[in-house]
Amino acid sequence: WAQTFQTDRNNLQALFTLKDALNENPEHGALENTVAYLFYKAGSIDSARWYFQKAAMHRQATVATSNLMGMEAHLRIPFALADTAALQ
């Protein structure tokens, strides 16, 4: 459903759907990465950064790390991947 909501540009509903999915599947890197992206699109940078960092601790680390670096470069803020230790 989340992808359908994203296609319809209903990012808020997609975010709620993905957060529900994360409650059912905690520590799912791909879900965390997508939630991070939606938070970024919504302008919630702290939440986006937190979810990108969480996602970077899973198998999709390369994708999540690239997305985090891209977001921070776009916003011209310091790259903070080292902060992932605080999430563990």
- The tens digit of pLDDT for each residue in 29-60 reads 888 988 998 888 888 899 999 998 898 888 76
Residues 60-84, mean pLDDT to the nearest whole number: 72
Structure tokens given for 67 = 């997305």
CA dist., res. 78 & res. 11, Å (int): 26
Would the pTM count as exceeding 0.85? no
How does the average pLDDT of the chain come out, rounded?
76
Of 81 and 10, the structure prediction assigns the larger pLDDT to 10
Look at the block and give the residue holding tokens 């905690």.
26
- Residue 38 CA to residue 86 CA, distance in Å, equals 22
